[in-house]
Amino acid sequence: MNKIEIKKQYENELKLRNYSKETIKSYLSIVDKFLNFANNITNKEVKRYIIKSINNKKSTSTIKQKQSALKLLFFVLGKKDEFNLPTYKKESKLPEVLNKKDVLKIIETAKNPVHRLIIKFLYSSGLRVSEIINLKPKDIDIERKIIVVRQSKGAKDRITLLSNSLKEPLLKHLLENTPKNYLFESNRNKKYSKRTIEEIVANNSLRAIKRKIKPHTLRHSFATHLLEQGIDIRYIQKLLGHKNLRTTQIYTHIANSDIANIKSPLDNIK
């Protein structure tokens, strides 16, 4: 098979497995780059490809995703027994979380009302970037104060919170901008790109708190602040759409609900 035939067969396998559009796009990109990089499709070439990513300081999640995508490639080509890579150890890093004052500063700094609404949605509902750009007006129930997140990560629907404070700016947005398909659309009636959302958050955070943050930081902050409010972690798991509770439990390491009650020894020196 030539490269075009391999990629087509690989894409069909992803579709048969009902992978999300985002995953299909990412996996196809990885395979395409590997096929252009490798001299042939062997385990040795995969190792060489992954080592290059490691040397280029790619993130752990990126490297693990590449391994998963290429492992599936070997399966598609009937070479699954030839694929043999050690498990790439996941780094133990705590997610970046903002305090509530900094979140408020970022919101208030956003002068563009649409940008401000996007930031509010990311923080108040714990949405991923891919989820907010695919959000449609019909997915929002203002009266019940819920958002239906459709076919998100893992090809699953879930429900998350709609902040009561978003009701008025949301209705105003719908009235003034009359989006046709997606809640947030460009002037050409196309949904916002991931890049656009990232720039909105980065630019406003830089002005507000003197550093650039990623949209996912607002999601981390949403989860941590709920935990600090005393919300059961199992509810937070459902709101975030985590398959495994262990993924959600990372926030127990950064929530200060218990730590705040402990006095530093310095404060007891008289």
Q: Which domains does the chain have, with CATH numbers?
A: 3-82 (1.10.150.130), 100-259 (1.10.443.10)
What average pLDDT score do residues 41-58 get? Answer: 93
> Pick the residue with more confidence: 251 or 105?
105
pLDDT at 175 over 70: yes
**Structure confidence at residue 22 as a pLDDT band (50, 70, 90):** confident
Q: What's the pLDDT score for residue 270?
A: 67
CA–CA distance, 75 with 84 (Å, rounded to integer): 12
CA–CA distance, 248 with 108 (Å, rounded to integer): 29
* Buried b or exposed e, range 121-134, using 16+ CB within 10 angstroms: bbbbbbbbbbbbbb
Q: What's the pLDDT score for residue 129?
A: 94
pLDDT at 70 over 90: yes
216 class by beta-carbon count within 10 Å (0-12 exposed, 13-18 middle, 19+ buried): middle
Candidate from 42-46, 92-96, 145-149 with smallest mean pLDDT: 92-96
What average pLDDT score do residues 161-178 get? Answer: 93
Q: What's the pLDDT score for residue 160?
A: 93
218 and 116 Cβ atoms separated by less than 8 Å? no
Q: What's the pLDDT score for residue 260?
A: 64
**Structure confidence at residue 155 as a pLDDT band (50, 70, 90):** low
Q: What percent of the chain stands above pLDDT 70?
A: 96
pLDDT at 257 over 80: no
197-207 pLDDT, tens digit per residue, is 999 999 999 99
Global pTM value: 0.77
Q: What's the pLDDT score for residue 42?
A: 94
35 and 7 Cβ atoms separated by less than 8 Å? yes
Average pLDDT of the chain, as a whole number = 90
Candidate from 67-81, 152-166, 189-203 with smallest mean pLDDT: 152-166
pLDDT at 154 over 80: no
Q: What's the pLDDT score for residue 21?
A: 82
Determine the residue type at 146.
Answer: I
CA–CA distance, 208 with 78 (Å, rounded to integer): 53
Q: What percent of the chain stands above pLDDT 90?
A: 71
Which are the catalytic amino acids?
Answer: 128, 153, 216, 219, 242, 251
Q: What's the pLDDT score for residue 50?
A: 94
